[in-house]
Amino acid sequence: MIYKTETLEKNNHNILLVAKKIKAGDIVALPTETVYGLAGRFDNDLTIKKIFSIKSRPLSNPLIIHYGSIENALDDIYIDSRAKILAEKFWPGPLTIVAKAKNKFISKIATSGLDTVAIRVPSNKVTLAVLNHFNLPFAAPSANRYGKISPTCATDVYEELNGKVTTILNGGNTKVGIESTVIDISNKKTKILRHGAISEESINKLIKIHKKKINIKVISPGLSHSHYKPDKPIRINATRPREGEAWLAFGKKPDYFYGISLTLSEKKCLDESAKNLYKMLRLIDKKNVKSIAVQKIPEKGIGLAINDRLRRAAFIKDK
């Protein structure tokens, strides 16, 4: 089925319209503070199946359920002190908690039949307003085709899903630019399943994170090696650009290079780099270049998440 895809500006009327659509079982692409999501009712198997099919995502890769309030989110999982500490410190915000599911109405398709569920309370005001209109959570993966870069503005979503969704809610550029951190508290050892907007250091100050290497196949399909890929090949940890490449700098752009070059952050700010990463990769991907070289990014703070995405984009196995 091919739809006419309409982009709606964010205003009260459209926020209500989108909330109504989701309540009725439709699927809408909308902004969160991290990346745009593809939202549908948390308890509607047909809707959830359709989300997987729009993205061409394997059914074995579960979705995150988004809530309008911390209480409602925590009500749906079996909690311990870790859940409370994390929720209090980081919600609303870009942290996703994986825990044993309590709410039996959450679609089993959304959780890929697991006994755990991934939940978060986003901080984007538009999305919170949508969530709170009917007090209904929604399931939402990032609004990209499977394996591709997550969209950080409404035009990116349109590029990814034109004809596949009816509605995109335009909330401008997302604040963070990279996905939420996924943390697993479903058993005694707390593990980070996906590095993201909330740094490991800031979580470690509150809760001890178990650092032993985890079995990718068992835990989180989002950890699969070949994810977040632009179309062009990527060379990471680069020190200088080569002929025919586009250059994505961290810091100042080199004045000796006449090819296409952009900087993630001239002042070497990691937050700014995260915000620019997907946007710039998309932009460069459209240019007439053989490949993309990205300058080395420090492995600290949100830099861990940036490097994780770049390693996957470059198809290089984690060390």
Instruction: Note the residues at the interface with ligand TXA (CB under 6 A).
Output: 32, 34-35, 37, 61-64, 94, 96, 98, 111, 114, 116-118, 140-142, 179-180, 182, 193-194, 219-222
Report the SS3 class of residue 95.
strand
**Residue 178 to residue 276: CA distance in whole angstroms:** 9
Applying CB under 5 A, the span of 78-86, 98-106, 135-143, 156-164 interacting with Mg ion comes to 135-143
* Rounded distance between C-alpha atoms, residue 282 and residue 228, angstroms: 11
Cα separation, 245 vs 226, in Å, equals 21
What's the closest the beta carbon of residue 16 comes to ligand TXA, in angstroms?
A: 21
Identify the CA nearest to 70 among candidates 137, 115, 22: 137
Residue nearest to Mg ion (CB): 142
Q: Per rule CB under 5 A, is residue 142 in the interface with Mg ion?
A: yes
Sheet containing 167-170: give its strands across: 6-9, 167-170, 28-30, 37-41, 138-139, 64-66, 116-120, 95-100, 181-184, 191-194
Distance CA 37, CA 152 (A): 9
Residue 180 or 263 with smaller CB distance to ligand TXA: 180
The residue number whose beta carbon is nearest to ligand TXA equals 222
* Residues 191, 211: Cα–Cα separation, whole Å: 7
The distance of Cα 43 from the centroid of its chain, to the nearest Å, equals 21
Nearer to ligand TXA, 18 or 246 (CB): 18
* Binding site partner of 37, from ligand TXA, Mg ion, none, Cβ cut-off 5-8 A by kind: ligand TXA
The first and second tokens of residue 216, run together, are 């990718």
Q: How far is the CB of 275 from Mg ion (least distance, A)?
A: 17
Q: How far is the CB of 248 from ligand TXA (least distance, A)?
A: 22
Closest listed residue to residue 194, CA positions, set 62, 41, 104: 62
* Binding partner of 32, given Mg ion, ligand TXA, none, CB within 5-8 angstroms per partner class: ligand TXA
> Toward ligand TXA, which CB reaches closer, 229 or 249?
229
Q: Which residues pair with 192 in a beta bridge?
A: 183
Region of 89-97, 134-142, 181-189, 275-283 interacting with Mg ion (CB under 5 A): 134-142
Residue 249: CB minimum distance to Mg ion, A: 26
The interface partner of residue 274, options being ligand TXA, Mg ion, none and the CB cut-off 5 to 8 Å by kind, is none
Stretch that binds Mg ion, among 60-68, 138-146, 208-216, 269-277 (CB under 5 A): 138-146
* Residue 124 binding target from ligand TXA, Mg ion, none, CB below 5 to 8 Å by type: none
By a kind-dependent CB cut-off of 5 to 8 A, residue 305 interacts, out of ligand TXA, Mg ion, none, with none
**Binding site partner of 111, from ligand TXA, Mg ion, none, Cβ cut-off 5-8 A by kind:** ligand TXA
Q: Pick the closer one to ligand TXA by CB: 62 or 230.
A: 62
Residues sharing a CB contact under 8 Å with residue 217, sequence separation 6 or more, in sequence order: none
Closest CB to Mg ion among 55 and 275?
A: 55
Write out the H or E segment, with its range, that includes residue 83: helix 81-90
Helices 303-314 and 270-285, packing angle to 10 deg: 20
**Footprint on this chain of Mg ion (rule: CB under 5 A):** 142
